[in-house]
């Protein structure tokens, strides 16, 4: 990896009216295009840390670099215009229309009107806002619409870095999940470097490339990928903060195609019954998948093949569970435990056969 | 009062009004003019002072104390005192009138700025507004309805107070009231008082209309969200 987009070096923040530290000797590197989520209980300095990046707060000591240059050596106004910013309460300008709100930073940067108009139209489409909202005022919008306008506004001047403080915090869980998914989609294309603050570990797991878990007093407990944090919490605090269902949360992050799927007992329709029975014996099963030229037809039972010559003569039965390579292991687990056979066929592109998945493999992943 | 002494004199003589129509219109305009200058100059003083008092909290108490002190001086005494320096002039009238607007206006400027949502201010700062842009493009526009409410109260107050300046030879419609008192003649008193009240109501309605026209956003309410 090259130079990180954001680098915090031994940053300390002490507020003048407080005896304790808000941020305690924090060092953190965030790579370009990554989403780093700062998460922790209230009083852990996560918002303060975020605000020091665009100088809404200034560090007591230590250094912060954005794209290689020290933020303290830059004009704060220019610095802020180059960094997107979203807060929980959004802070739209009540006296400006939605179009004007979205155009805020481009206007401050002195873009030409036609360019601003094009950009606003682009963002409206990206965030699936309706055109007629553009001439309304923020007071006329629903909470979910306002949140989307807030994020669109932050992206207006296409800044490489975004700071987001609980950006989806003020809406109900259903709308929140929808906004999170939409934003993940957009981020997938835009590849911004994002610092995302939340107190919700599940949101952190969902949104993050890396999670920084902070403790009260602004100390960093662990900084790693969600999978690694779930697999191996650094200490008791992190373990407790992650909460229950650690194994399940980790399974939700792993896709079926990321693990080694066993091929299992496979026969082709042309195989003789003798050959089929040998395959089953090798795997210690009384059944086998029937695959014809890569296409899964179903499975056959050893008991139904008496008196036949080829495996193809028996009618293949459907598996009671199918998972695709794109499913998460958590989804696969759910299919397995609700199926009769506790074996799921793994398929891709329709019915192309990849292998079989059972509970043993999944529990090995949990323990891994 | 002495007004009822002459029982043959009617309370209101319409023919006086038609005979003096020119003068009445002239003084009505004079009245509106004196009021506009007072509220205009008062606003020009109160807005910067209010912004300063808002930004420097320690200045707020002495500023409102001084404006409050000016407000409590009996108007009659103030005009009498001022004539020893500036004579029987419009300047004298305006100094007095302006000083009565300051308390109301400064208080509303500060209250309006205090009412600007914290998150809007923070978001503006975070997006790279300079302090000056923040004041002109965010804080003052958002404080405008409250400032305007102060201007309306000040205007109505000053329209009433302008009549008192008739004692130093100004007064707009107040001149008729003074004339009526001096001559035990009730018609000009009625004309002066009624027109003064009507002028106050008209000014208030016009200013409210102006405020509404300039702040379309302040009436906005959430509309139900359709399917996405």
Across B74-83, average pLDDT: 88
Mark yes or no for CB contact B128/A56 under 8 Å: no
B141 closest CB neighbour out of A95, A104, A130: A95
pLDDT classification of A3: cutoffs 50, 70, 90: confident
CATH code, domain with A70 = 3.40.50.300
Determine the distance in angstroms separating the CA of A108 from the nearest CA of chain B, rounded to an integer.
7
Cα-based angle A181, A184, A190 (whole degrees, multiple of 5): 145
Asked if A159 and A266 sit in the same domain, the reply is no
Q: Do A32 and A220 meet the contact criterion of CB atoms below 8 Å apart?
A: no
Mark yes or no for CB contact B129/A78 under 8 Å: no
Mean pLDDT of chain A: 91
pLDDT classification of B225: cutoffs 50, 70, 90: very low
Across B76-84, average pLDDT: 89
Q: What does the pLDDT look like over A242-285, one tens digit per residue? A: 988 888 888 888 888 888 888 889 999 888 888 888 999 998 88
Residue of A nearest to B129 (CA): A77
Distance CA A154, CA A126 (A): 13
Asked if A79 and A188 sit in the same domain, the reply is yes
Asked if A234 and A288 sit in the same domain, the reply is no
Q: How many domains does chain A have?
A: 2
Q: Which residues does chain A have within 8 Å of residue B128's beta carbon, measured at their own beta carbons? A: 77-82, 105, 108
Across B4-17, average pLDDT: 74
Answer with the one of A253, A272, A303 that is the final residue of a domain: A253
Percent of chain A's residues with pLDDT above 90: 61
Q: Which residues does chain B have within 8 Å of residue A80's beta carbon, measured at their own beta carbons? A: 125-128
Q: In what order do the strands lie in the sheet with A287-292?
A: A266-267, A287-292, A295-301, A352-358, A343-348, A322-324
Distance CA B205, CA B188 (A): 25
- Check residue A218 and give left, alpha or beta (phi > 0: left; psi -120 to 50: alpha): left
Cβ of residue B220 closer than 8 Å to a chain A Cβ: yes
The pair of three-digit structure tokens given for residue A205, joined into one six-digit string? 């797991």
Mark yes or no for CB contact A85/B126 under 8 Å: yes
Across A17-38, average pLDDT: 94
Cβ of residue B111 closer than 8 Å to a chain A Cβ: no
Touching A: B residues 16-45, CB under 8 Å: none
Domain presence at residue A1: no
Domain presence at residue A320: yes
Q: What does the pLDDT look like over A88-143, one tens digit per residue? A: 888 899 999 999 999 999 999 999 999 999 999 999 999 989 899 999 999 999 88
Top residue of B122, B123, B135 to mutate, by most chain A CBs within 10 Å, is B123
Distance CA B120, CA A140 (A): 16
Q: Which residues does chain A have within 8 Å of residue B223's beta carbon, measured at their own beta carbons? A: 136, 140-141
Q: Which residues does chain A have within 8 Å of residue B222's beta carbon, measured at their own beta carbons? A: 139-142
Do β-strands A83-87 and A287-292 pair in parallel, antiparallel, or remain unpaired? unpaired
Touching A: B residues 128-167, CB under 8 Å: 128-130, 133, 138, 141-142
Q: What does the pLDDT look like over A134-175, one tens digit per residue? A: 999 999 998 889 999 999 999 999 999 999 999 998 888 898
B120 closest CB neighbour out of A80, A94, A128: A94
B119 closest CB neighbour out of A90, A105, A145: A90
CATH code, domain with A262 = 3.10.580.10
pLDDT classification of B228: cutoffs 50, 70, 90: very low
User: Tell me, what's the ipTM?
Assistant: 0.80
**Chain A residues contacting B, CB < 8 Å?**
54, 56, 77-82, 85, 87, 89-96, 104-105, 108, 128, 130, 136-142, 144-145, 153, 163
Cα-based angle A127, A101, A105 (whole degrees, multiple of 5): 95
Domain presence at residue A82: yes
Answer with the one of A235, A253, A271 that is the final residue of a domain: A253
Across B129-157, average pLDDT: 95
Q: Which domain holds residue A269?
A: 257-367
pLDDT at B3 over 70: no
What CATH number does the domain located at B14-215 have?
Answer: 1.10.3720.10
Q: What does the pLDDT look like over B169-214, one tens digit per residue? A: 888 999 999 999 998 888 999 999 999 999 999 999 999 999 999 9
Strand partners, A355: A346
pLDDT at B1 over 50: no
pLDDT at B226 over 60: no
Across B82-111, average pLDDT: 93
Question: Domain ranges in chain B?
Answer: 14-215
Asked if A239 and A289 sit in the same domain, the reply is no
pLDDT at B121 over 50: yes
């Amino acid at each position: 990896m090259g130079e990180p987009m954001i680098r915090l070096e031994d940053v300390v923040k002490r507020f003048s009216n407080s005896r304790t530290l808000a941020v305690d000797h924090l060092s953190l590197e965030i790579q370009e295009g990554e989403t780093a989520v700062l998460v922790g209980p209230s009083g852990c300095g996560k918002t303060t840390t975020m605000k020091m990046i665009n100088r809404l707060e200034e560090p007591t000591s230590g250094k912060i670099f954005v794209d290689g240059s020290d933020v303290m050596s830059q004009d704060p106004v220019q610095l802020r215009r180059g960094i997107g910013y979203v807060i929980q309460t959004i802070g739209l300008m009540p006296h400006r229309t939605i179009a004007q709100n979205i155009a805020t930073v481009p206007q401050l940067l002195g873009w030409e009107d036609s360019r601003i108009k094009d950009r606003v139209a682009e963002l409206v489409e990206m965030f699936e806002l309706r055109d007629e909202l553009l001439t309304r005022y923020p007071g006329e919008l629903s909470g979910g619409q306002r949140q989307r306008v807030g994020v669109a506004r932050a992206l207006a001047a296409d800044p490489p870095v975004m700071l987001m403080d609980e950006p989806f915090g003020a809406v109900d869980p259903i709308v929140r999940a929808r906004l999170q998914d939409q934003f993940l989609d957009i981020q997938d294309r835009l590849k911004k470097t994002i610092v995302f603050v939340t107190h919700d570990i599940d949101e952190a797991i969902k949104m993050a490339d890396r999670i920084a878990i902070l403790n009260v007093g602004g100390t960093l407990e662990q900084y790693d990928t969600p999978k690694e944090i779930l697999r191996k919490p650094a200490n008791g605090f992190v373990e407790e903060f992650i909460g229950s269902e650690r194994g399940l949360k980790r399974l939700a992050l792993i896709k079926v195609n990321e693990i080694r799927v066993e091929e299992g007992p496979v026969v082709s329709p042309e195989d003789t019954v003798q050959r089929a029975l040998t395959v089953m014996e090798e795997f210690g099963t009384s059944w086998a998948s029937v695959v014809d030229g890569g296409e899964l037809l179903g499975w056959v039972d050893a008991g139904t093949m008496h008196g036949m010559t080829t495996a193809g003569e028996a009618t293949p039965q459907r598996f009671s569970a199918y998972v695709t390579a794109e499913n998460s292991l958590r989804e696969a687990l759910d299919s397995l435990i609700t199926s009769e056979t506790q074996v799921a066929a793994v398929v891709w592109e329709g019915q192309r056969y990849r292998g079989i998945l059972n509970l043993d493999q999944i529990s090995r992943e949990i323990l891994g | 009062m002495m007004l009822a002494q002459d029982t043959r004199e009617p309370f209101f003589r319409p023919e006086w009004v038609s005979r003096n129509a020119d003068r009445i219109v002239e003084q009505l305009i004079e009245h509106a003019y004196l009021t506009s200058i007072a509220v205009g100059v008062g606003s020009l003083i109160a807005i910067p002072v209010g912004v300063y008092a808002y930004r420097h909290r320690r200045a707020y108490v002495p500023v409102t104390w001084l404006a409050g002190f000016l407000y409590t001086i009996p108007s009659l005494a103030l005009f009498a005192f001022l004539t020893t320096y500036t004579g029987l002039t419009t300047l004298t009238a305006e100094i007095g009138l302006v000083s009565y607007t300051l308390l109301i206006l400064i208080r509303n400027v500060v209250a309006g700025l205090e009412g600007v949502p914290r998150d809007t201010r923070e978001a503006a700062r975070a997006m790279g507004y300079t302090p000056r842009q923040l004041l002109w493009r965010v804080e003052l526009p958002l404080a405008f309805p409250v400032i305007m409410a102060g201007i309306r109260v000040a205007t109505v107050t000053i329209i009433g107070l302008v009549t008192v300046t008739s004692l130093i030879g100004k007064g707009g419609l107040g001149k008729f009231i003074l004339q009526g008192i001096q001559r035990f003649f009730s018609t000009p008193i009625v004309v002066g008082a009624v027109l003064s009240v009507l002028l106050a109501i008209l000014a208030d309605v016009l200013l409210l209309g102006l405020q509404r026209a300039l702040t379309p956003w302040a009436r906005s309410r959430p509309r139900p969200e359709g399917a996405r």
